[in-house]
Amino acid sequence: QVQLVESGGGLVQAGGSLKLSCAASGRAFTNYAMGWFRQAPGKEREFVAHIKWTGSRIYYADSVKGRFTISRDTAKNTVYLQMNSLKPEDTAVYYCAATSRAFPVPTRPNEYVYWGQGTQVTVSS
């Protein structure tokens, strides 16, 4: 089992920044790659970013490329999502997730095994 706990969500004005954290624990979690997803009300959960624990592969959705940065701190067992230039359409519950899939880069929710509880991000216009 892998446990994931997100934090760092909140309310921010358009153009602002937030940094989300996902603390991982449990059995052999470093064997997994990590992803961030988001789900807005009435919409399907969508892929945001992906990173291997080694940091050797990083991948972004086109909608966030150039604005969001995924990273990890292996000493703290934590994955981050730095979100800059936020837009109202970024408003959603953000989830981190773990996958054992390697290639191609997993971007669908059903490719991830473990999920955090989510953290709300609200961007006001």
pLDDT in tens, 39-98: 999 999 999 999 998 888 999 999 999 999 999 998 899 999 999 999 999 999 999 999
Give 71: exposed, middle or buried? Use CB within 10 Å, 0-12, 13-18, 19+: middle
State the amino acid at position 68 in one-letter form: F
Residue 118 has pLDDT above 90, yes or no: yes
N-terminal to C-terminal alpha carbon distance within the chain? 40
Structure-token match 């703290």, residue found = 76
**Mean per-residue pLDDT for 6-32?**
92
- Residue 124 Cα to chain centre, angstroms: 20
